Amino acid sequence: MIESWVAAGRMAVSAGEMQLAREFLEDDGWTVRDVPGARVQLVRGTGNAKEVSREDAVMMALRCLVRRA
């Protein structure tokens, strides 16, 4: 995933990559909801919500992965 972004010179998140990110974020306690404009809403169990781009959501998921290692 990251190699393809580096090769392309930009980060473009596919539907499959977003699904992987969704799984990591949900395992980390987030509820992930799709919203218009290629964005997602992330909601914590406490009801704290924020809207981010799919690229930001993938970066958050990658950080979750690093914390697990």
Tens of pLDDT, residues 7-62: 999 988 998 999 999 999 999 899 999 998 889 999 997 788 999 999 999 999 99
55 Rama class: left (phi>0) / alpha (psi -120 to 50) / beta: alpha
CATH of 2-68, one of 1.10.287, 3.30.920, 1.10.238, 3.90.660: 3.30.920
Q: Cα(54)–Cα(12) distance, rounded to whole angstroms?
A: 9
- 8 close to 52: Cβ distance less than 8 angstroms: no
**Predicted pLDDT at 37:** 86
Give which of 52, 64, 59 is closest to 27, Cα–Cα.
64
Task: Provide the whole-model pTM.
Answer: 0.85
